Amino acid sequence: MKILAIDTSCDDTCAAVLENDKILSNVISSQTDLHAKWGGVVPDIAKRAHAERIDAVIATALKRANPSVLRTSPFDKREKLTMIIENGMKEIDVIAVTIGPGLAIALGVGVNRAKELAQKYNKKIVAVNHVEGHILSNFAKNSQNKPDRKIEFPALVLTVSGGHTKLILMKNPSKSPSSKEDRGFDKGDFNPKYTVIGETLDDAAGEALDKASKMLGLGYPGGPIIERLALKGDIDWMKLPRPLSTQKTFDYSFSGLKTSFYYQIKDWPKEKISANLADLAASFQEAVFDSLLIKYKLAIKEFKPKTLLASGGVLANKDLRKKLRKLAKDFSLPIYMPFKKELNTDNAAMIGVVGYYKALRLEFVEDIENLDRMPRAEI
Ligand code: KG4
Ligand code: ZN
């Protein structure tokens, strides 16, 4: 099965082509530079950029998956794109598109393009939840069919990005109603069920890092900047809270942490901030990651999963990955994270993986004409 996947849920225009769960191409056109000077994503700007880029991104994904789709090279750029899409779509069986959660007007660009392509080329559509995409990014494979992971259920999933911070219990329940057993991972019979056991009550972890970066007068996105600075800083330099850490729930909160950080530095002259950037970054990053780990640990004790899965943009952070590996080791549990960095941040390959399993279960959109974005879709 060949799948064209599309995601325009936030500020990256993404398209990918998969053969089943194998990634043949994964194209991401980042808009970071357009949003950077505003210190965050501006929906109108995102929408316009998606609309301008979507055809080129889809065409590139189709061409990388199969270079022979461009047989002759017309001079005109528009004609060239049209030809690649026409030829490329012949080989596609299913279109997988993110319908939510995300920015409404940004999502609309991808959803509308998917509908137009499905109608023009007579293809089926599967509607995909972006958060499920982040979860199943751990099930993606490269063109050599690697990695070959034996994922056992229940799995406890931590997804951390700029938009969400969630702890999710993932099961693949047995079809037999009398059995409480999990099916284990059987590709042809994979129908995962998710229970959100905890989530952030305010800011997402990535958002907190982005806001801290802004407070320090640094750029956007803040995560990678803070990571770089933190390497040389002292994690205990500033005392910061670990919100909700003493409560026996699995929810997160980062706004209190952000406020505490703000009040501690708000009257500092610029020179004092710039002289202590590394220590400030290290202390803040540690507080965010420690908060993530405290709840993950509590949830492992409570739900006794067989596997740990982690995903989302913040996992691009080496220190967080190291901390998660250590946690897994302490509990003697296997932990999996996306095998490639670009599978952590927003991408369409992860949407294609969800699309693949949904298509196997024949979960196609019945009324394509009326398919709509769902900005607040729940997992
Ligand atoms: O998954 P993603 O690309 O988009 C959303 O769905 O939100 O995640 C983006 C978030 C941003 O908040 C960004 O600051 C954070 O991931 N991020 C990082 C790193 N790279 C990206 N956070 C910490 N360390 C990084 N290296
Ligand atoms: Zn995301």
Q: Which helix (H) or strand (E) holds 26?
A: strand 22-30
Q: Does residue 163 line the site of ligand 1, with CB under 6 A?
A: yes
In angstroms, rounded to a whole number, what is the distance separating the alpha carbons of residues 358 and 159? Answer: 21
Does the pLDDT value for residue 376 go beyond 70?
A: yes
The pLDDT of residue 181:
66
What spacing in Å lies between the alpha carbon of 9 and ligand 1's midpoint? 14
3-class state of residue 344 by DSSP? coil
Q: Whose CA is nearest to atom 16 of ligand 1?
A: 313
User: CB–CB of 30/348 below 8 Å?
Assistant: no
CATH 3.30.420.40 in the chain is located at 2-136+342-370, 149-337
- Regarding the beta carbon of 7 and ligand 1, being less than 6 Å apart is answered no
Structure confidence at residue 325 as a pLDDT band (50, 70, 90): very high
Look at residue 74 in the predicted model and tell me its pLDDT.
Answer: 67
End-to-end Cα distance, the chain: 25
**Ligand nearest to the CA of residue 229, numbered in listed order:** 1
User: In this structure, which ligand is nearest to the CA of 312?
Assistant: 1
> Do residues 14 and 346 touch, judged by C-beta distance below 8 A?
yes
CA of 167 to the centre of ligand 2 (A): 15
Q: How many whole angstroms separate alpha carbon 307 and alpha carbon 164?
A: 21
Instruction: Choose one of 30, 136, 199, 209 to mutate for the ligand 1 pocket test, by most ligand atoms within 8 angstroms of C-beta.
Output: 209
Measure the CA dihedral 184/185/188/194, to 10°.
90
Question: From the CB of 338, is ligand 1 less than 6 Å away?
Answer: no
CA of 202 to the centre of ligand 2 (A): 17
Residue 8's SS3 state is: coil
For the domain spanning 149-337, the CATH number is 3.30.420.40
Strand partners for 23: 18
**Among 287, 154, 150, 148, which residue's Cα sits nearest to residue 211?**
287
Residue 72 confidence (pLDDT) above 70:
no
Identify the weakest region by mean pLDDT among 27-36, 89-98, 355-364.
27-36
* C-alpha 93 – ligand 2 centre gap (Å): 25
Does the beta carbon of 210 lie inside 6 Å of ligand 1?
yes
Asked whether 206 lines ligand 1 (CB < 6 A), one says yes
pLDDT of residue 115: 98
Give tens-digit pLDDT for 228-285.
999 999 999 999 999 998 899 999 999 999 999 999 999 999 999 999 999 999 999 9
Among 161, 166, 220, residue to substitute to test ligand 1 (most atoms within 8 Å of Cβ)? 161
Q: DSSP class of residue 112?
A: H
- Give the pLDDT of residue 202: 96
**pTM given for the model:** 0.94
The residue nearest atom 22 of ligand 1, judged by CA position, is: 223
Q: Under CATH, what is the fold of the domain 2-136+342-370?
A: Nucleotidyltransferase; domain 5 (3.30.420)
Distance 162 CA to ligand 1 centre (A): 5
Give 12's strand partners.
30
Residue 216, amino acid: L
Q: Is the CB of 221 under 6 A from ligand 1?
A: yes
Nearest CA to ligand 1 atom 14: 223
Q: For the chain, give the mean pLDDT.
A: 94
**How remote is the CA of residue 171 from the centroid of ligand 2, in Å?**
21
- Burial-class residue 270 by CB neighbours within 10 Å (0-12, 13-18, 19+): exposed
Q: Which of helix, strand or coil describes residue 191?
A: coil
Pocket test residue of 41, 128, 314 for ligand 1, highest count of atoms within 8 A of CB? 314
Q: Mean pLDDT throughout 104-118?
A: 98
Q: What is the pLDDT of residues 75-109, one digit of tens each?
A: 788 888 999 999 999 999 999 999 999 999 999 99
Q: What was the pLDDT predicted at 68?
A: 86
State yes or no: pLDDT of 37 exceeds 90: no
pLDDT digits (tens, 9 = 90+) for 156-211: 999 999 888 999 999 998 766 566 667 667 777 789 999 999 999 999 999 999 99
* Three-class secondary structure of residue 190 per DSSP: coil
The rounded Å distance from CA 49 to ligand 1 centre is 20
Find out whether the beta carbon of 102 lies less than 6 Å from any atom of ligand 1. no
- Gap between the Cα atoms of 225 and 207, Å rounded: 13
